[in-house]
Chains A and B, each alone.
Chain A
Amino acid sequence: MDVSFDGVRYTYPGGVEAVKGVTLAIPSGQRFAIVGQNGAGKTTLVRHLNGIFQPTEGTVHVGDWTTTGHTIAELSAKVGYVFQNPDEQLFARRVIDDVAFGPRNLGFDLDRAEALVAAALEQTGLSAEAETHPHHLSLSERKRVALAAVLAMDTPIVVLDEPTTGQDERGVRMIATIVEKLQSEGRTVIAITHDMDFCAENFERTVVMAQGEVLADGAPSEVFIQDAVLEKARVEAPQLARLADALGWASRPLTVDSFVDSLPAHRR
């Protein structure tokens, strides 16, 4: 499902303008990442997708809907949103109940809901914790419960707000696998992240935001070479891009394989 932002501006009731005219079209099935400093307006922007915020100016389209015409609950059938802080999302006494909450609200029949819940727990490595109280889990596990709860809603669009924070290596890999799987099913993945390596390796398009505006938009390989933009947005390039830069290379490989492949060419 396509989504688009057309000239979106958002001013908080206090008067702070967090989004200053953003226009973006995200086609169906894209893996789309937004990077930028804390306070750059990333979360404010994506919260327009499920109607938590309505634009002060401009419009937001989700499929053939304009978000202004729909409630958060209605939009939830199209947009799954994983909050950054799981403690702002989880409420049930058992992991499985929390994960089943979305599918139940969306009125899925029992078989489908059960299958979705089981699959979501499996993908997030939580099958063994189905009966556990979320409060007894670690922060990184609670974050994965929050992710599973949204995966189980089977929405065409999935929004992830800082999915990898606090995750160990295994957790980050699990999330990367999920992103890939979502795309293979034709679903759109929109993620906010501070983890540039995760971004470079798993997303086909990256947008850099600073002070409510989009400064760069393109494939990670096109974005992470724009030093002036990265500096202005105070974004650090992925590790291997920084290494290539330090070595004086013209190209900026983003994965281990592409870096090693380009090595021979850089022998003097």
Chain B
Amino acid sequence: MIDLADVSYAYPDTDHYVLSHVNLKVEPGTVTGIVGASGSGKTTLAKIISGFIPHVDGGELSGSVVVDGATIADVTLSEAVSHVGLVIQSPFNQISGAKFTVREELAFGLENLGVAREEMAERVTAVAELLGITGLLERSPYALSGGQQQLVAIASMIIMNTPVLVMDEPTSQLDPGGTRMVFDVMSSLRDAGITLVVFEHKLELLREHADIVHVLAESQLIASGPSRAMLADPRLEKWGIGSTRFTAAAAAARDRKLLSKDAELPVSLTDAVPEFRAFAAKKGA
């Protein structure tokens, strides 16, 4: 669904390559998590997958980017955005400013596409319900808190119904409840056949919702794997990504010979419970 081959990129007027020789393959109908320390190029990669590099930002882009069958560099931006949507990091800047209520703000993209009124109304209702913002529909998008704006921004892209959706730190302004809800929404979109790529710091939730996780470090996608194996990888420490407390506790327990060396390290609560329960069931030494 997404195929990046040997992609390198330097921003205009710099000769520093933010990304160099990046390769990424994403299967359709999956959630891919990408983790990386600050400054590792996450936002740049998000813009490349969604076509804003090279169509909006200039700079030096090489390699090939194919998304949903479209070679991004060869199609217009209008066509690119029909294949792939991008939720940008700042919800304040995602809000169009063209609309005076959240209801119309959500419909903005559909109006541009000329979608029939009845269908628009249905899709607005559905996406608002999905993200729990029905109560905000008549409010001004600018009269909302940062967290509420973030939910509106996410909803305004989900409603576009693109086959691929890229999200750049979509939960930065949400509380834990809101964050969980957004991750649950990602899973249900995946179940509906959408392909998602999410750039996030929240490792426990990535473990629960991402199928594959890639690590961005040293200007490259340096490692990848199934979410549990990748997010428990001790090298994440070196790459500035860290680990969950579940992983850290299990690793410390292993070091103190309280857990067996062969046990796979847990990343989330669901992973951790059976590992430690098995330990508790064993006879004391």
Q: Is the pair B241, A38 in contact by a Cβ cutoff of 8 Å? A: no
Residue B222 CB within 8 A of the other chain: no
Most buried by A among B176, B246, B284: B176
Q: Is the pair B176, A168 in contact by a Cβ cutoff of 8 Å? A: no
- The complex places the Cα of A196 from the Cα of B179 at a distance, in Å, of 13
Residue A194 CB within 8 A of the other chain: yes
B258 contact set on A, CB distance < 8 A? 260, 263-264
Residue B224 CB within 8 A of the other chain: no
Given contacts A239-B204, A259-B249, A267-B279, contact A194 B240 (CB under 8 A): no
Kindly identify, within residues 123 to 178 of chain B, every residue whose CB is under 8 Å from any CB belonging to chain A: 145-148, 169, 172-178
A168 contact set on B, CB distance < 8 A? 36-38, 201, 240-242
- The complex places the Cα of A236 from the Cα of B177 at a distance, in Å, of 8
Kindly identify, within residues 151 to 187 of chain A, every residue whose CB is under 8 Å from any CB belonging to chain B: 165-172
Given contacts A37-B177, A165-B172, A166-B169, contact A240 B201 (CB under 8 A): no
B249 contact set on A, CB distance < 8 A? 240, 243, 256, 259-260
Residue B253 CB within 8 A of the other chain: yes
The smallest beta-carbon distance between A253 and chain B, in angstroms, is 9
Choice from A138, A197, A234 contacting B38 with Cβ under 8 Å: A138
- The complex places the Cα of A198 from the Cα of B264 at a distance, in Å, of 25
Contact with A along B171-198 (1 / 0, CB 8 A): 0111111100000000000000000000
- B246's closest neighbor in chain A, by CB? A239
Residue B256 CB within 8 A of the other chain: yes
B75 contact set on A, CB distance < 8 A? none
- The complex places the Cα of A12 from the Cα of B40 at a distance, in Å, of 42
The smallest beta-carbon distance between A175 and chain B, in angstroms, is 13
Residue A257 CB within 8 A of the other chain: yes
Residue A16 CB within 8 A of the other chain: no
Residue A89 CB within 8 A of the other chain: no
Residue A218 CB within 8 A of the other chain: no
Q: Is the pair A38, B175 in contact by a Cβ cutoff of 8 Å? A: yes
- B147's closest neighbor in chain A, by CB? A38
Which residues of B are at the interface with A, using a C-beta cutoff of 8 A? 36-39, 43, 89-90, 145-148, 169, 172-178, 201, 204, 237, 240-242, 244-246, 248-249, 252-253, 256, 258, 269, 272-273, 276-277, 279-284
Which residues of A are at the interface with B, using a C-beta cutoff of 8 A? 37-39, 84-85, 138-141, 165-172, 194, 196-197, 234-236, 238-240, 242-243, 246-247, 256-257, 259-260, 263-264, 266-268
Can you list 18 A-B pairs, Cβ within 8 angstroms, ordered by A?
Answer: A141-B38, A168-B240, A168-B242, A169-B37, A169-B237, A169-B242, A234-B175, A234-B177, A238-B245, A239-B246, A240-B245, A242-B269, A243-B246, A243-B273, A246-B269, A263-B279, A267-B279, A268-B284
Pairs of residues from A and B, 6 with the lowest C-beta to C-beta distance, nearest first: A169-B242, A239-B245, A140-B38, A38-B147, A267-B284, A168-B37
